[in-house]
A = this chain, B = another copy of it.
């Protein structure tokens, strides 16, 4: 393909991670250097919504030191969205609007950072622009703590969340066994459909300070079986730690809060929707009769930049940087994926995955990595995940607390 001169826009979509801004840093620093082809670099406010609303920032006006700090700043610095484009055949209003905005601002490079849905969005937009005869190179940058994107060995964001989960569980493990009395601890981990994050609890167990039982959404949940598991471990040691994915459900599709906490009502008569950790802890307290504690790792597992994996930060930056380099070289309609050598030590290699292949396909934890009982993870997962969590990201510190990036966010007129 020939040289394409114009402006570039980058957007962040879906739930944030500890390293999504590292990808932003990769896109921005590389795009700002491509002065021969990319004239201006824009950041869309709240992803595709910012494009539709014609609200984006002029990244060229940002202080390079602040862009560098993006590498260690969690969450989505530009703002994110969960907006889903309609099927073009049914309603092409948004597509027309995007074409209009792109034309008006001479946007010839579109980089979008997100998960399955975002790759679908990229793909749809690219197809529309092509049909409309508007030349624009569209590249996806992967992002999801859930690690469930098709076609890539792993996803930026996953390893930092995994490192947070494993480290935190190791610390909680020590805390939860200080007394010489029985205790059951339920740790709820994110992951609605795929259990990669809950599986990461096994890294703590590998280090001798982890859960006794791990339940993933990949295996149908059986309340009776789980209770028997807990009772067995409790009888042996008096201490039980369960790592439970928020997405575990029974064979007929019932989530844990529906199984054991459904009918609770507060003082005002409002229905309470308890979290998995809380309701399971209450259930086990009644069944086992000992002290229990439900812990939800909540937003912390996806925003703990202070505990990010250096490998993850570097790879996330690389993904953004590579997307720009590819696009400038004439490549379009791919997501930047990763692969590792089939044998030998871990190395992160780039692999381009067609957007159409990624869109709306989920990658789950292989069933052969889960033990037969369906309550723990095998060594295969440890071998897979361990290289990804290596290295400690050094966040900037000011007065003993993080110094996160402060962007000027100069809105493009």
Q: Hey, which bits of chain A sit against chain B, CB under 8 A?
A: 12, 15-16, 45-46, 49, 73-76, 79-82, 163, 166-168, 170-172, 174-180, 203-204, 207, 209, 259-268, 270, 272-275, 278-279, 282-283, 286, 293, 295-296, 298-300, 302-307, 309, 386, 389-392, 397-402, 404
Contacts and interface: CB of A to CB of B under 8 A. Distances in A.
A172 B404 CA distance: 12
29 contacts: A15-B178, A16-B175, A45-B180, A74-B174, A75-B174, A79-B179, A81-B180, A163-B401, A171-B304, A171-B402, A175-B299, A203-B401, A207-B401, A207-B402, A260-B268, A262-B266, A262-B267, A263-B265, A263-B267, A264-B264, A265-B265, A266-B274, A266-B279, A268-B283, A268-B286, A293-B299, A386-B400, A390-B400, A391-B400
B163 A400 contact: yes
A249 to B, nearest CB: 15
A230 to B, nearest CB: 16
Nearest to A80: B178
A282 B45 CA distance: 30
A74 B173 CA distance: 10
Contacts of A260: 266-268
Contacts of A299: 171-172, 175-176, 293, 295
Given A174-B74, A306-B167, A273 B266 contact: no
B268 A274 contact: no
Contacts of A392: 397, 400
A400 B389 contact: yes
Given A76-B178, A82-B179, A272-B278, 11 more contacts: A15-B178, A166-B401, A167-B401, A170-B404, A174-B404, A260-B268, A262-B266, A262-B267, A264-B266, A266-B282, A293-B299
Contacts of A168: 300, 304
Contacts of A398: 207
Given A300-B300, A397-B392, A171 B306 contact: yes
Nearest to A387: B400
A74 B171 contact: yes
A336 to B, nearest CB: 22
B267 A179 contact: no
A267 B279 CA distance: 10
A15 B293 CA distance: 14
A289 to B, nearest CB: 12
